[in-house]
Amino acid sequence: MNAPLKADDTDLAALMADLATKARAAARVLALAPAEQKNTGLAAMAAALRASAPKLLAANAEDVAEARASGATPAFVDRLALNDARIETMAAGLDVVRGLDDPVGKVTERWTRPNGMTIERVRVPLGVAAVIFESRPNVLADAGALCLKSGNAVILRGGSDSFRSCQAIHACLTQGLREAGLPEAAISLVPTRDRAAVGLLLSGLDGRIDVIVPRGGKSLVARVEAEARVPVFAHLDGNNHVFVDKAASLDMAKTIVLNAKMRRPGICGAAETLLVDKAAAPAQLKPLVGMLIDAGCEVRGDTDVQKADARVTPVTEDDWATEFEAPIIAAKVVGGLDEAIAHIERYGSHHTDAIVTDDATAATRFLNEVDSAIVLHNASTQFADGGEFGFGAEIGIATGKFHARGPVGVEQLTSFKYRVHGTGQTRP
């Protein structure tokens, strides 16, 4: 297989163009497919995944062996590895998506004009999505199911390390589509490990791709944001804050701060900075900081925070803007609500921020004035998740303000059209 580079490039371009053309044709079929037919497909996919566990594990074992041989880190291998429980989680995820309401065809607004025309705004699929992910093969099943439910065709491109696992999972999804009489091109997997395929997807393949969803680390997301010539649902930083207001109860502050930081310190909804109102500090700072450190969290604080506990290390300017993704938190005493909001505006990433307070007025101001996708009053930032919002599942969390913001579920994977019902109206 040592064909000249030029010929390879041409072949790859032709292969990707063909994939996109077939996906677009499939999208036309999916846009009109009844909910029941899509659900039949999802049920068949889940059944195929469950029935194919031995095949999936065998394919995955080859990927894992290759990754280990090439010196992959244990964390990388953990993300890559499948086992029976993970396969069942994937299948159960398809069942959850199957149970969601079908967003397509839903009339979200309807009004009648003075001339008698009735206008309806109705949800329609976006078209063709490209999902680019890294080593976790389960993303393939999740993304495939969410796109199918929302009537979109999808082209999936997994990390080359998970190539065999992805092919095995994809075969199960294809089987489900076939059993439901849906086009196989509704969910396609880029059939090559050639990394140049990503660049072709990012080009939009001559308008045949409508949206790109990167699922992975910051370098992947940054590359997609920089190169994509089509809209992207991108997740950048989750530099989230918990502000403990002067009217916060200590018990609630402790519960929420601990959960927001330490439940899972590495997820995007984890808190990265604790802000404590100076009026609350005398009573609350020491117990909050002590609790975090006792729980295994490194606290990096300003001088006020350092005074509260000898184990606090000094915070740097960079720390305020850092998503640690680890049991580390920056901590600061602020002059009050205004300073807290200003700090969040200056250093935050507009993802998820919370206030703990018993003062309804302060809560309202915080929720209105903090310009983040998710703002919470007396609840943990770790709720930043499509499942926790009741969306059933999410294809990701969007940190932009365009089209989708926050958890991206099936509804955010749709666009809309206007249907106009007239009786012969013409424009004067």
Residues that bind its own copies (CB under 8 A): 28, 31-32, 105, 111, 113, 117, 119, 124, 126-127, 210-211, 231, 252, 255-256, 258-260, 263, 345, 363, 367-369, 371-380, 382-383, 385, 388-390, 400-403, 405-406, 415-427
Integer angstrom CA distances of residue 147 from 159, 161, 391, 395: 19, 24, 14, 9
| Minimum CB–partner distance for residue 284 and its own copies (Å) | 15
| Minimum CB–partner distance for residue 114 and its own copies (Å) | 9
- Helix (H) or strand (E) run with residue 307 in it: helix 303-308
Report residue 426 CA to chain centroid gap: 45
- Phi, psi (rounded to 5 degrees) for 43: -65, -40
Pick 145 or 375: Cβ nearer its own copies: 375
C-alpha–C-alpha distance, residues 221 and 210, integer Å: 17
Q: 192: alpha, beta or left, given left = phi > 0 and alpha = psi -120 to 50?
A: beta
Pick 263 or 286: Cβ nearer its own copies: 263
C-alpha–C-alpha distance, residues 165 and 71, integer Å: 19
| Minimum CB–partner distance for residue 199 and its own copies (Å) | 18
| Minimum CB–partner distance for residue 115 and its own copies (Å) | 9
* Tokens, residue 41: 């497909």
| Minimum CB–partner distance for residue 152 and its own copies (Å) | 11
C-alpha–C-alpha distance, residues 387 and 96, integer Å: 10
Pick 211 or 393: Cβ nearer its own copies: 211
C-alpha–C-alpha distance, residues 270 and 380, integer Å: 9
Helices (H), 110-265: 138-149, 163-179, 196-202, 218-227, 250-262
Pick 135 or 380: Cβ nearer its own copies: 380
| Minimum CB–partner distance for residue 43 and its own copies (Å) | 25
| Minimum CB–partner distance for residue 48 and its own copies (Å) | 30
Pick 187 or 376: Cβ nearer its own copies: 376
Length of the chain: 428
Pick 271 or 312: Cβ nearer its own copies: 271
C-alpha–C-alpha distance, residues 6 and 12, integer Å: 10
Pick 173 or 397: Cβ nearer its own copies: 397
